[in-house]
Amino acid sequence: MIRRLSLLLLLLLLSACGKEPLYHEQAYVFGTLVDVSIYGLEEEQARQATRGVLHEFQRMNDQFHAWQPSELSRLNAAFVRGERAPVSPELAEMLADATRYSVQSGGLFNPAIGSLIRRWGFQSDTFKAQLPDAAAVAALAASNPQMTDVVLAQGEAWSRNPAVQIDLGGYAKGYALDRAATLLRERGVQHALINIGGNILALGQHGGRPWRVGIQHPRQPGPLATLELHDGEAIGTSGDYQRFFEFGGKRYCHLIDPRTGQPQQGVQAVTVLTRGAHAGVASDVLSKPLFLAGTAAWVSVAKQMQVGEAMLIDGHGRIHLTAAMQNRLEFTTKQHPEVAP
């Protein structure tokens, strides 16, 4: 599925490009495929800028990995022991920012549930089709780990709740997009498109026109819709089709409801469109609470999170979207979306 998404993006980038100065490179980081495309520079300059971005991505992957040796895994181990641990200024800032989003979402966005993610088998590159012990899952959910349990002070961090285990999988890709934008601008890059597993950030334009990207159909090959991304805009999708397993005829995805400890059912995908200085982080974070809110509450949560442009595809494949999002999308086939009030 990741490869299919990348090929879709590549086709959209290269269509009608001819011999335009477009440099494109791929790598595998953060457990997903990463694409960096730079327009309008000589190849060697674009290559050096891209290598700098990919090197930074690898640094962040190594430093903030949730289940392999890293600064974050050492911090999680200290939480279990009830101890304080040193924390770098960068990680402290990320944790504080993630806490703000978590509070705003009413706890639906909750990176503190790393133990639940591990229990379901999603802290791994491969997933086994088996259900975890129900009592253990219930106990973890009842322990109610929250980002607000984490205390940051004087270069140290500790947790008031030993059940807290931080997993930044729903935050780090967006953070990496924003870091990439900064690094590229510092190297004189004005026009680029960065894609980390479907979270995409645009800089400038693609030859006098906006960058055009596709939104993956959650159940079929190819795009459900396309849209133009303008300078400083980002798009992010949370879906049940990349990290999941099937058991007993049901699909279990990595998007776990902190309230129940169970993977969300009844939603196939949520896509949000963001902009601004931290558009990358917002594109990664904001789709999660809408996905977990489900069809009954996603609109109210979108308003709560100040998301104006969003689309939800429910478990039956029906499309629901905000009016502002409808104005941005071109569907690839005839669709009859339900526009939220």
Q: What angle do CA 94, 97, 101 make, to 5 degrees?
A: 135
pLDDT of 17 reads: 46
Number of H helices, E strands in the chain: 10, 19
pLDDT of 19 reads: 60
The two three-digit tokens of residue 165, written as one number: 């285990």
pTM: 0.92
- Residue-range domains of the chain with CATH: 69-159 (1.10.3980.10)
pLDDT of 310 higher than 80: yes
- Could you give phi then psi for residue 6, rounded to 5 degrees? -65, -45
| Mean pLDDT to the nearest integer, 253-274 | 97
Residue identified by tokens 């911090």 is 75
Amino acid at 42: E
pLDDT of 233 higher than 70: yes
DSSP 253-269: ES-EETTTTEE--SEEE
Q: Which residues pair with 22 in a beta bridge?
A: 39
pLDDT of 7 reads: 40
The two three-digit tokens of residue 129, written as one number: 């089709």
For residue 335, what pLDDT band results from cuts at 50, 70 and 90?
A: confident
Strand order in the sheet with 192-196: 22-29, 32-39, 192-196, 199-203, 233-239, 267-275, 309-314, 319-322, 338-340
Spatial separation of the C-alpha atoms in residues 310 and 193, rounded to whole Å: 21
Tell me the residue length of the chain: 341
Spatial separation of the C-alpha atoms in residues 242 and 244, rounded to whole Å: 6
Cβ contact 159:109 at 8 Å:
no
Spatial separation of the C-alpha atoms in residues 212 and 101, rounded to whole Å: 29
pLDDT of 155 reads: 97
DSSP 135-148: HHHHHHHHT---GG
Cβ contact 263:246 at 8 Å:
no
User: pLDDT for 185-225, tens place per residue?
Assistant: 999 999 999 999 999 999 999 999 999 999 999 999 999 99
Percentage of the residues of the chain whose pLDDT score is greater than 90: 89
The two three-digit tokens of residue 118, written as one number: 């591990």
pLDDT of 118 higher than 60: yes
User: pLDDT for 132-177, tens place per residue?
Assistant: 999 999 999 999 999 999 999 999 999 999 999 999 999 999 999 9
User: pLDDT for 5-58, tens place per residue?
Assistant: 444 454 454 444 456 799 999 999 998 999 999 999 999 999 999 999 999 999
For residue 4, what pLDDT band results from cuts at 50, 70 and 90?
A: very low
Cβ contact 112:164 at 8 Å:
yes
The DSSP code for 113 is B
